[in-house]
Amino acid sequence: MARVRAALRRRAKPEPFLLGDLAIHYEQRQVTVAGRPVRLTAAEYELLRVLSVNAGRVLTSEALLRRVRSGRDSGDPTLVRTLVKKLRRKLGDDAARPAYVLTERGVGYRIATPDDR
């Protein structure tokens, strides 16, 4: 049993998500832009986390809402749009030319990848 515990302690830590000045440190639940911490609500952090672990994929607003609300009744579909707006503002992202959270019109959202830059 001690060997199992030791192996679990040694397992690799999740790598932070890095995109330009944006860094998401999953273990600490910390987000920084240009080295400065960004304070996010639990819902904003979860939205950013879900987008980042699915980098390269477009996620529908409905799918994001389910994940942010932990599978509970989806509720108001404008919630995701509002969360994205607040998240962009806190990240210093220009809504007209976003660098991090991209809108796929008529479909949903995705996080930018280095190829988008």
- pLDDT mean over 79-94: 95
| Enclosing H/E stretch for 102 | strand 101-104
Contact 75, 65 (CB under 8 A): yes
96 conformational bin, left if phi > 0, alpha if psi -120 to 50, beta if neither? alpha
Place of tokens 């607003």: 61
**In this predicted model, what pLDDT tens digit does every residue of 26-36 receive, in sequence order?**
999 999 999 99
CATH topology of domain 40-116: Arc Repressor Mutant, subunit A (1.10.10)
Buried b (16+ CB within 10 A) or exposed e, 70-104: eeeebeeeebbeebbeebbebbebeeeebbbbbee
45-63 confidence digits (pLDDT tens)? 999 999 999 998 999 999 9
> What's residue 95's pLDDT?
87
Determine the Cα–Cα distance for residues 116 and 102; give it in Å rounded to an integer: 10
For residues 18-47, give the mean pLDDT.
96
